[in-house]
Structure 1
Amino acid sequence: MPGIPELAAMPDGRIRLYLSQSLISSDGGQTWTVEEGHFIPSGADPSLVALPDGSYAFFYKGFSGQPDNPPPGQPEQPQLPTTPTGDFMPCSGYGEPLDADQNQIGPWASRLMIAFSSDGLNFTSAGQILADQADVPDVLVMPGGEIRVYFVTLCPEEVRNQIVVAVSRDAANWTYHKTSITGMEGVQPVAVDPTVEFTPDGRIRLYFTSAAASPDAVLQSYSAISDDGYTFEMESGARFGVAGRPVLDPTVLQIGDTWHYFGGGQPGINYHATSPDGLNFTRQDDLKMDDFLFANGIAVEGGYRYYGFIQQPRSAASAIYSVFTTDGQNWVLEDGVRLTLDESSPLEKIGVKDPGVARLPDGRYLMVYSTLIPEYPYDEP
């Protein structure tokens, strides 16, 4: 069996495809030439990672001395999975509202879709559904190239209104896993709106929305820490809150030596705070940028880019844009639109929003975004 292919952009502009052999293309993947050599066993699922020094690390599965091809008359060895067996499968289609009426939009009506870009600016939808009844995604690429998408789901029931993670090696085949947070005493046992960042020591910090365990508590941002990205331990105290006002959808990015926090809760306004350690944040002036709402930030050449969306007034229609900074304080709305609704697609409706973006080992940019499930009975007001 051929296994899962790996695509890699070469420094000279060509594209190389790895399987048991390698193929090279000079015209953007329209035509391919097989290169000499048969360099790894069939089904080894190669993965190429560009290293900071300009060299490459090459990973593939071994088969404990098994021959590449089975002896005549013998069946092939079963292919090993590239990711652990999943904990659940996401549902298909929309679900029942969560403490809301059917004419409102929420995770029960939301679909996560996948898009790609070669430059981080011009994205094209892949027409691939990651999950239904799911929302607020964030993407993390592990040191070995594994792709993880953290999001909130409402279905199946065993993970209703919980943070879960989709895992892949190729951004095409996914398994779905539960997460857990221990030590949530003193706060409500609900964690939503995930964003994940690596800490300087290589652990994974999860920022999320919850509230203190009291009847009059308002939503604010908390964090938990993990060695593996699945089992988290709650960190003491809240990361950010505003007296008397709910704070939603935290997003955090390290810019230079400073951690920058952004949060929502008021239309068109982004709460902004800074921290030297990612734990103790000091509120800064709120950011208002043509109703742009911050969703997910990454480091890019020459600075930092935050992806977000702008929603039309009195409408659910939205499109994805980006802002750029070199210092975290001065932001500029970049020209053009990163992604708009594909009105010809039967998979999305009304608008696109809540982008989570990361750069893959092959140089492409992966975007996971939210849209409305078209069959959901919602009409624009």
Structure 2
Amino acid sequence: MKSLTRLVTLALCAFGSASAQDVLSELFNPLAPFPPVQHQVQEERSPEQRDPNGPWKNDVLIYRTKADGTAEQIGAFTRAGVPTLTRLQDGRLMAAFQSFPADDPRNFDRVAVSFSSDEGSTWTKAEPIAVEGLEEGLMRPFDPTLVTLPDGKVRLYFTSNRHHNFGVSTPQIYSAISQDGVHYTFEPGVRFGIEGRVVIDCAVVLHQGVFHLYSPDNGSTADFHRIQSRQQEPPTGSAYHATSTDGLTFTRVAEVRLDDLRWLGNAQSDGRAITFFGSGRGIATATSADGATWQQTRGFRLAGADPGAAAAKDGGWIIIATGPPAQNQWLAEWTAERQMFDSLFQARDARR
């Protein structure tokens, strides 16, 4: 696994300009104070004008794999990232992702959903979700994770925070529930969080009657600040693990670890075992019978990071992943990391 240090170096080489480097410096320093007055002249500029190399330059790539491991790309969600995928009770596939439409500024950088009735070959037009009853002070949902429940409803797990400064308020995992996958009702309270730790990018799976939640271990707030400012190597291979019988009240249990898998992705259960689709050299995978003990498996050499997946009806998998800008594989992971902060910094921009 390449470190964020190398990824940032590659990103700077790719983006090149001094202005791009300034933007990256801001994005990788979430504990820094608001910029000084000179940035106020950008009040009327769109996010794309402020940062022409933002995550809206990425697409979510859609793949279909066969039982023998071969794969083909069958489509893409343009201007999107950090995807998740689930199969609904009626057999349709449902995808959710952070969406950056070029012609709809009101819904720019919001979670959107799309549906497929033909195993991912065609999809409905992306539609932004609506969450009713979101707690006052919470930033809008980002980094979505979908779980289809036994009663046919869909639960959305997501990251949110009360302040852009992680030293003031660390991000945590929340949830909302829906009948149709588009309109959600916020479920009060925090699903999972650890005081003083940066908890983001969760994956949740219902396996043998137990909900398992995984979130990459990003260390303390201070650790995370040093990682983002390139003063410290990021932790690799480990993730927080929590379990729940109702999907709402989670209990933290022992962390999970695999040295060659980054727990940034999605988990699926076939009733016998859980398969985790994570980030690595391509799409890294691992399996577990109990959600606690894991074995690395072959994975898929596909471009992209932070994948979502669902079992295909004829065997194999439907996989969606954040594609790299300009097909640069190593930039894919950096871009997935960066998108975790887009909503936080856009809220900051609104204050200027």
Per the shorter chain, which TM-score range? Answer: 0.5 to 0.7
Q: What secondary structure does 2:78 align onto?
A: strand
Residue 180 of structure 1 corresponds to 130
Shift of 1:340: 3.3
Question: How many aligned residue pairs are there?
Answer: 265
- The verdict on how the C-alpha distance between 1:240 and 1:291 changes in structure 2, with shifts beyond 3 A counting, is farther
Match status 1:319 vs 2:282: yes
Identical pairs, percent: 28
Shift of 1:211: 1.3
Match status 1:330 vs 2:293: yes
CA distance in 2, matches of 1:365, 1:375: 22
Shift of 1:246: 1.7
CA distance in 1, matches of 2:156, 2:91: 19
Code of the residue aligned with 2:134 in structure 1: it is M
- The verdict on how the C-alpha distance between 1:324 and 1:353 changes in structure 2, with shifts beyond 3 A counting, is same
Residue 157 of structure 2 corresponds to 207
CA distance in 1, matches of 2:316, 2:288: 21
Q: What secondary structure does 2:106 align onto?
A: helix
Residue 71 of structure 2 corresponds to 124
1:115 and 1:123 in contact (8 A); partners too:
no
Q: Deviations over 1:214-267 (max 9, x none)?
A: 961111100001111101011111111111122111110112121110012513
- The verdict on how the C-alpha distance between 1:225 and 1:112 changes in structure 2, with shifts beyond 3 A counting, is same
CA distance in 2, matches of 1:137, 1:211: 20
2:242 and 2:250 in contact (8 A); partners too:
yes
- The verdict on how the C-alpha distance between 1:218 and 1:113 changes in structure 2, with shifts beyond 3 A counting, is same
CA distance in 1, matches of 2:314, 2:278: 24
For 1:96-115, list aligned pairs within 5 A. 100-101=23-24, 107-115=55-63
Q: Which has the higher strand share?
A: 1
Code of the residue aligned with 1:324 in structure 2: it is T
Q: Deviations over 1:199-224 (max 9, x none)?
A: 23221110000013696111110000
Residue 281 of structure 1 is aligned with which of 243, 250, 274? 250
CA distance in 1, matches of 2:284, 2:247: 26
Code of the residue aligned with 1:308 in structure 2: it is G
CA distance in 1, matches of 2:318, 2:164: 40
When structure 1 is superposed on structure 2, of 289-298 and 201-210 the one drifting more is 289-298
Match status 1:246 vs 2:208: no
Tell me, which stretches of 5 or more residues in structure 2 are unaligned?
Answer: 1-14, 29-52, 219-234, 335-352
Residue 296 of structure 1 corresponds to 266
* CA RMSD, 1 decimal: 3.0
Is the radius of gyration larger for structure 1 or structure 2? 1
Code of the residue aligned with 1:142 in structure 2: it is L
Residue 141 of structure 2 corresponds to 191
Match status 1:158 vs 2:106: yes
CA distance in 2, matches of 1:379, 1:110: 10
CA distance in 1, matches of 2:82, 2:331: 22
Residue 349 of structure 1 corresponds to none
For 1:58-137, list aligned pairs within 5 A. 100-101=23-24, 107-119=55-67, 122-126=69-73, 128-132=75-79, 134-137=80-83
Shift of 1:337: 3.0
- The verdict on how the C-alpha distance between 1:337 and 1:200 changes in structure 2, with shifts beyond 3 A counting, is closer
CA distance in 1, matches of 2:302, 2:312: 22
Q: Scaled by the length of structure 2, what TM-score is found?
A: 0.68
Residue 36 of structure 1 corresponds to none
Residue 85 of structure 2 is aligned with which of 127, 134, 139? 139
Residue 184 of structure 2 corresponds to 232
Shift of 1:106: 6.1
CA distance in 1, matches of 2:145, 2:272: 24
Code of the residue aligned with 2:277 in structure 1: it is Y
Code of the residue aligned with 2:268 in structure 1: it is I
Residue 241 of structure 2 corresponds to 272
CA distance in 1, matches of 2:243, 2:272: 21
State the structure with bigger RCO (CA 8 A, min sep 6), 1 or 2.
Answer: 2
Q: What secondary structure does 1:239 align onto?
A: strand
Q: What secondary structure does 1:278 align onto?
A: coil
When structure 1 is superposed on structure 2, of 296-305 and 160-169 the one drifting more is 296-305
Tell me, which stretches of 5 or more residues in structure 1 are unaligned?
Answer: 1-93, 311-317, 342-351
For 1:28-67, list aligned pairs within 5 A. none
Shift of 1:291: 4.4
Q: Which has the higher helix share?
A: 2
Shift of 1:300: 3.2
1:309 and 1:354 in contact (8 A); partners too:
yes
Q: Scaled by the length of structure 1, what TM-score is found?
A: 0.63
2:99 and 2:108 in contact (8 A); partners too:
yes
CA distance in 1, matches of 2:86, 2:327: 30
Residue 374 of structure 1 is aligned with which of 298, 323, 326? 326
